[in-house]
Amino acid sequence: MAVTISNTPNPNALKFTVGRDVGGPATYVAGKDDGDPLASAILAIDGVASMFMTADFVTLTKQPDATWDTIAPAAQEILETHFA
pTM: 0.94
Number of C-beta neighbours around residue 8 at 10 A: 12
**Quick one: which H or E segment has residue 48?**
strand 48-54
Alpha helix stretches (DSSP H) within the chain: 37-43, 68-82
Question: Residue 24: its pLDDT value, please?
Answer: 84
**How many residues are recorded in the chain?**
84
pLDDT along the chain (84 residues), means of 10: 93 96 93 89 97 97 97 98 93
- Domain ranges in the chain? 4-82
Query: Are 56 and 20 spatial neighbours (Cβ–Cβ below 8 Å)?
Result: yes
4-82 is classed CATH 3.30.200.20: no
**Residue 1 has what pLDDT?**
67
- Residue 21's nearest CA partner among 55, 60, 53 is 55
Instruction: Give me the pLDDT at residue 32, please.
Output: 87
| Structure confidence at residue 73 (pLDDT) | 98
